[in-house]
Amino acid sequence: MKHIFIINPKAGVRNSFDTLKKEIEDIKNLDYVIYETKAHRDAIIFVKEYITEHPGEELRFYACGGDGTLFEVINGASGASNVEISCVPVGSGNDFLKYFGDPERFKDINNLVNGTVCDIDLLKFNDIYIANIFNIGFDSRVVVKQAKIKKWPLMSGKGAYNLSVFFSLFGKMSWKCKLLVDEEVVYDGKMTLAAIANGICYGGGYYCCPKAKVDDGLIDICLVKKVSILTFAKLVGKYKAGRHLDDEKVMKHLIYKQGKKIQLELSKVLPYSADGEIDYSNNVNIEIVNKCCKFVVPKV
């Protein structure tokens, strides 16, 4: 098997290229390639071309960065049956890996090379695949602000997200929407945000969908109805900790459902975030693709 390490030099707060390169070189008898990304979405192009140039060969790609780098590797490899994927967390968020426990485990390159392959689901939205979470509304506006704040000196991804939440509280906080789960209308009213999930958390540790499983063939959605700033401030702590589904006072402000297809019709075009990738839409259609990705977790 060929092991291809795709390193995003801009991930995290410092360049990890030299450190990772040495760790990879120290593994004996490893057939490997190291590629350093040069621009946004460069990994998608590289992975697609590499797979095309090595037909039928067993390949394993390691996304060395954050959730955004993993997003690019997964979308570059989509449809290839001879490919496995893993992630070395040198990014600022690495929220998808939290489903599997402590993301720090994935930094042990040797254990990752000798890891276990799991078949996981992906979400499909238009022509892209999502490993973790699609979010729209208040929190997607937060992500737009976060991208700007992350450029501030010494600002981590988690710190930038929390600061973005604070700034976003002073803008518009609700939009009219219609939510359909498996083509059945389950809500028609105003929403503050919606998180459509395969994984369990985003934004540096906001556990929006704690019941989600990455291999159950189901999508989890948590929709927060229109709330005041005061109510939002009261419930955000439990939302972040993943305790919002256990509190009846919080649940009256939520819609939490599972299904194979999620449709969200919005009265206005809004920014959305798909594993950190920003774009805009007012009509969201997301389906589950069951166990379509071979994902490698570290050897215990």
pLDDT-derived band at 273, boundaries 50, 70, 90: very high
Q: What is the pLDDT of residue 166?
A: 80
pLDDT of residue 266: 97
Q: What pLDDT band is residue 148 in, cutting at 50, 70 and 90?
A: confident
- Is the predicted pLDDT of residue 121 greater than 90, yes or no? yes
What is the average per-residue pLDDT within 48-56?
A: 96
Closest among 64, 54, 46 to 9, alpha carbons compared = 64
Torsion of CA 85, 119, 255, 229, to 10 degrees: -20
Span 17-35, pLDDT tens digits: 778 888 999 999 999 999 9
Given a cut of 80, is residue 250 above it in pLDDT?
A: yes
pLDDT (mean) for 186-190: 98
Give me the percent of the chain exceeding a pLDDT of 90: 76
Token pair 């929220």 is found at 95
For residue 155, the model assigns a pLDDT of 75
The crossing angle, in degrees rounded to 10, of helices 42-53 and 67-77 is 30
Contact call for residues 69 and 62 (beta carbons, < 8 A): no
| pLDDT(13) > 60 | no
Would strands 261-274 and 254-259 be described as parallel, antiparallel, or unpaired? unpaired
State yes or no: pLDDT of 156 exceeds 80: no
- The pLDDT of residue 165 is 77
Closest CA to 4 of 85, 78, 72: 85
Return the percentage of the chain with pLDDT > 70, whole number.
97
pTM more than 0.85 = yes
pLDDT, tens digit, for every residue of 275-285? 989 999 999 99
Structure tokens at 29: 């008898």
pLDDT of residue 16: 65
Residue of 214, 196, 180 whose CA lies nearest to 290: 214
The arithmetic mean of pLDDT across residues 155-178, rounded, is: 81
In the predicted model, what is the mean pLDDT of residues 145-167?
78
> Would you say residue 14 has pLDDT above 60?
no
Residues 200, 210: contact at Cβ < 8 Å? Answer: yes
HSE value, Cβ hemisphere, 13 Å, CA-based, for 243: 8
pLDDT in tens, 223-245: 999 999 899 989 989 999 999 99
Which pLDDT value is given to residue 211?
Answer: 97
DSSP state, 202? B
